[in-house]
Amino acid sequence: MKINVVTGGGTGIGKAVAAMLPKDEQVIITGRRMDKLNKAVEELNAAGCKASAMTCDVSKREDVRKLAEHAASLGEIDKVIHCAGISGSMGKRETIIRINALGTVHVNQEFYKVMNGGCIVDVASDSGYMLPGLMLPGKRTYRLAISDEEAFVQKMVRKAKLGKEETSSQIAYMISKNFVRWYAGCCAYKYMVTKKIRVLSVSPGFVKTPMTDAEQGEATDTMLSYTGWKRGAEPEELAYVITALADERARYLIGADILCDGGAVTNGYGMMTATKRYDESSLKENW
């Protein structure tokens, strides 16, 4: 039986993905807290899934190694959907970089060792598109993730320092997600050529999950006004995209990032470039 793994699968987008994966395949959902995972497993199995749970902190390589080995011991790993992550208001700069950026390196590298074929989808964010180039660490810093993890974390943390800690944490989130997209793209060719594993990333916009529960207010309203739907996404809307990408029939898609944000970034939403490309007046123009 095929084995699928969803990191961060106890809540939000990850849980919606787990519910949407093929019901005749096993799914292991992971996160740091077993109580949340147990509740999700109960719900998923009541809906016909074959779900189990395992705790795993993606910022700890050893945890991820154990998860990958456990999954491989159960059968052929087919899909790894890496949703685990925290927002810019859920931790300090270093924690954000360790979980979101380094966590992705751990997940891709440890699953690469045990997979043969299949697909890894790394969940990034449209925030990864929003910083101007000058505020992003260069490729040289990003490459340190492969050769020297501690130096990588320290350089990323320094680059994110801007004004107050709250602002710096938001910048750290944006940088971490820009990295996820870059890193997934870098893994794609090697993983396919050496082991026929497809690697992709998805960059969601605002999704209604526990992560965004607290994020209501003017700034969120402004951001949502840039989307075509004028609202945030339901987790299932992202889960549909992610499960479709991971499906074997989408096999020609390799290394791409799918920006699924209701059109906000395309419409000009960004930290420094809040200029709408399309607005109400453009509706009357002959595009």
Q: How far is the CB of 286 from ligand NAP (least distance, A)?
A: 34
Q: Which is nearer to ligand NAP, 80 or 207 (CB)?
A: 207
Q: Which is nearer to ligand NAP, 32 or 195 (CB)?
A: 32
Cβ neighbors of 166 (< 8 A, separation 6 or more) are 89
Q: How far is the CB of 54 from ligand NAP (least distance, A)?
A: 11
Residue showing the smallest CB distance to ligand NAP in the complex: 12
Residue among 247, 248, 212 nearest 231 (CA): 212
- Rounded distance, CA 54 to CA 35, Å? 11
Q: How far is the CB of 25 from ligand NAP (least distance, A)?
A: 21
- Helix segments in 30-136, DSSP class H: 34-46, 61-74, 93-96, 103-114
CA dihedral 163, 167, 173, 179 (to 10 degrees): -30
Q: How far is the CB of 287 from ligand NAP (least distance, A)?
A: 28
Q: Which is nearer to ligand NAP, 1 or 47 (CB)?
A: 47
Task: Report the interface residues with ligand NAP, using CB under 6 A.
Answer: 7-8, 10-14, 31-33, 36, 56-59, 83-86, 99, 103, 123, 125, 204, 206-207, 209-212
Backbone angles phi, psi at 27, to 5 degrees: -130, 130
Q: Which is nearer to ligand NAP, 2 or 39 (CB)?
A: 39
Helix, coil or strand: residue 213: coil
End-to-end CA distance of the chain: 50
Q: Which is nearer to ligand NAP, 193 or 212 (CB)?
A: 212
